[in-house]
Structure 1
């Protein structure tokens, strides 16, 4: 048996990269393999992708925190890995390798981007594949062009009531996943599954500006991945937690939140690009960009997201040669200084966060339930099929 621990988005940009992560590192040390999404570039390249707004690029030294946390494999299939251009992407891969971390979901061409990473523990081989449905145009890898493993989806806006003229009414949103990209994804997952005992797919998807809700693309893609051979699906990008479900016995975690998304210079960067924007006034930002917009938040200089983004989790999946034995979530909180602290059962925030996750579950197709318990001294919520 091996234990796979996973988190959502990770981007470290702070004077002391490893500061605040000791409590979380203790929890992650209980895993045989640790996975996360590297939400940005660690690079000194002067390049910048022209599409990057508020680019997430930090010095390579910040990758030290990733090794301190014990990551074994990290996804680069996201909407920020190419913010530092192609050279920035290369330097990020090199920074991860210097710390003995496998990078998945990006490469020098389309084939490399979709190539699985195989890790063996206790005589079990686990394959990791990563892809993103959310990315700026041009970030996707192509034949002979570096980039990320991308799965495009086309969005259509439909009149919700064709029998009624109602100008300005909110449309129904319908998503269709690109058939060519589906074929590439299916081939990558099937190839990985043929070479491994367990196949894990990380996928960047969803809407970061709404709590709880899934886009209609997410269940579509989850079904595609499980049908192709994924045993575990790990979702990220939304910064706000999402629910989880089982598809044919495979756990699908739709949104693991973030353990770090350090953006200390966000206001200054955005004000340079849009001098008339109110990024230095939180009340004005609330009126302009809404409750769940991305702008600096008082008391949390590194984390410019809604207070719900301070709730986060570590996903746990125990597997052996027969499949998934157990899975669930360790609840954690991000503190004002960026420290990440796993919760104990006695922590008064434990009950609040359990109620929050149960609300997330209510928005996910396919019933699942959380059974609160304790593991290694930490609060642990076992995920089980619902009634």
Structure 2
């Protein structure tokens, strides 16, 4: 089959060390799989310490990288980077400016941060593999307002930062419990002025009187049952979708990227709001939707002929050894997906390569340990693919598994919804 276009997508790349010295045939196999793509995409889950300097804006989960890691990503095959994520602002505005300069200097297709909101929201656009490719990247939090880009107004200077898809988390509780919370607030003599003080440096959240309560920064809302509710701000969503429509109207191959940390209690489950938003992006004209955040492999869907990867987990995950919360094996397992399109620009098939980030007996603190992804084999490969297939089956996707690889053949009828 003579494929006209191939888009390869991976898990997120939290990379803080140069990996070009690693010699392992299993890593070389991963590189070869990447390099078949016309567009090879990941989320750069870090920020660059460069000439603009910066300062730590976080506690435990703070991190940054030197510019050489971008050379490493380019060397193994990546040419497209999402930059919108919770680590992009770890060095403040200085890190945003340095990252923008270093990524642009190397010619990456990129999107998701900017010198102000207009710049951060602007799609990246580049000709790759004979097609114009547009990339839009946005972060849905949770995160402080100060990490997100803002345009200049008559009263405020512009702020460099991340492209924000504005969301609000609310906790749904039955009416009786909501009334008890209201009484507790009365006993504590909670006032609007006190909520404003505790919200600093931000403003208190808006609530619907009679149905919602701001209980010291957490919004509880009346619901039939208990649950976490994520609401997307309609104006924020419209701005992102408008950019997708404009890129699609030009005939571009449009990649829509979402980063978020609104995880479900079982972190391999796909949040309902993400599924709704992903489909809305495809309806607006996106050719491919990719999401990261939860550090585990979730599921995929093919909707109106376009692949949706709800959570690809990790590709590079160079976290501090003391962060033991990442010990579960599913954190260190993922897939790389090669999406192939035919001459008519329709999705024809997807090849899946299971990978593990390092392998036993290496430990996170060893010299090569968990620095790079390696091709999985045997029982581990089967386990990764079977888990991904099982979760994706619930979204109507059938995956054929053979010889430690997965494949999805897209029937002609599926290409048109």
* Alignment TM class, shorter chain as reference: 0.7 to 0.9
**Cα distance per residue 1:178-197 (max 9 Å; x no partner):** 01101111111111112234
Residues 358-377 of structure 1: pairs in structure 2 closer than 5 A: 358-361=389-392, 366-373=395-402
The verdict on how the C-alpha distance between 1:354 and 1:123 changes in structure 2, with shifts beyond 3 A counting, is closer
- Structure 1 contact 175–217 (Cα < 8 Å) conserved: yes
Among 316, 324, 346, which residue is 1:296 paired with?
324
Q: In the aligned structure 2, how far is the partner of 1:170 from the partner of 1:35?
A: 39
Indicate the structure (1 or 2) with the bigger Cα radius of gyration: 2
Q: Normalized against structure 2, the TM-score is what?
A: 0.75
Among 234, 240, 263, which residue is 1:207 paired with?
263
Q: In the aligned structure 2, how far is the partner of 1:151 from the partner of 1:60?
A: 27
Partner of 1:380: 406
Partner of 2:188: none
Q: What stretches of structure 1 of length at least 5 have no aligned partner?
A: 268-294, 298-303
**Cα distance per residue 1:144-193 (max 9 Å; x no partner):** 3211111112222222x558999899822222210110111111111111
- Structure 1 contact 133–153 (Cα < 8 Å) conserved: yes
Partner of 1:351: 382
Deviation at 1:358, TM superposition (A): 2.6
Deviation at 1:2, TM superposition (A): 0.9
Deviation at 1:305, TM superposition (A): 4.2
- Structure 2 contact 7–338 (Cα < 8 Å) conserved: yes
The verdict on how the C-alpha distance between 1:16 and 1:351 changes in structure 2, with shifts beyond 3 A counting, is closer
Q: In the aligned structure 1, how far is the partner of 2:59 from the partner of 2:245?
A: 33
Q: What stretches of structure 2 of length at least 5 have no aligned partner?
A: 152-157, 182-223, 363-368
Deviation at 1:62, TM superposition (A): 2.3
**Cα distance per residue 1:12-42 (max 9 Å; x no partner):** 2236555365332121111111010000112
Deviation at 1:243, TM superposition (A): 0.4
The verdict on how the C-alpha distance between 1:71 and 1:212 changes in structure 2, with shifts beyond 3 A counting, is same
Q: In the aligned structure 1, how far is the partner of 2:87 from the partner of 2:67?
A: 15
Among 195, 202, 218, which residue is 2:274 paired with?
218
- Structure 2 contact 7–340 (Cα < 8 Å) conserved: yes
Partner of 1:308: 330
Partner of 2:354: 331
Partner of 2:138: 131
Q: Normalized against structure 1, the TM-score is what?
A: 0.80
Among 160, 163, 167, which residue is 1:146 paired with?
160
Partner of 1:5: 8
Partner of 1:281: none
What secondary structure does 2:239 align onto? Answer: helix
Partner of 1:340: 373
Q: In the aligned structure 1, how far is the partner of 2:21 from the partner of 2:142?
A: 28
Deviation at 1:78, TM superposition (A): 0.7
The verdict on how the C-alpha distance between 1:195 and 1:349 changes in structure 2, with shifts beyond 3 A counting, is same
Instruction: Please tell me the root mean square deviation across aligned C-alpha atoms, in Å.
Output: 2.8
Matched, 1:37 2:43: yes
Partner of 1:317: 339
The verdict on how the C-alpha distance between 1:173 and 1:296 changes in structure 2, with shifts beyond 3 A counting, is closer
- Structure 1 contact 151–181 (Cα < 8 Å) conserved: yes
Partner of 2:235: 180
- Structure 1 contact 343–379 (Cα < 8 Å) conserved: no
Q: In the aligned structure 2, how far is the partner of 1:147 from the partner of 1:383?
A: 40
- Structure 1 contact 12–65 (Cα < 8 Å) conserved: no
Q: In the aligned structure 1, how far is the partner of 2:252 from the partner of 2:105?
A: 27
**Cα distance per residue 1:265-309 (max 9 Å; x no partner):** x63xxxxxxxxxxxxxxxxxxxxxxxxxxx237xxxxxx442111
The verdict on how the C-alpha distance between 1:39 and 1:182 changes in structure 2, with shifts beyond 3 A counting, is same
Q: In the aligned structure 2, how far is the partner of 1:94 from the partner of 1:237?
A: 25
Q: In the aligned structure 2, how far is the partner of 1:148 from the partner of 1:379?
A: 36
Partner of 1:229: 285
- Structure 1 contact 124–321 (Cα < 8 Å) conserved: no
Moved more, 25-34 or 54-63: 54-63
Moved more, 320-329 or 173-182: 320-329
What secondary structure does 1:112 align onto? Answer: helix
Deviation at 1:52, TM superposition (A): 5.6
Deviation at 1:84, TM superposition (A): 1.0
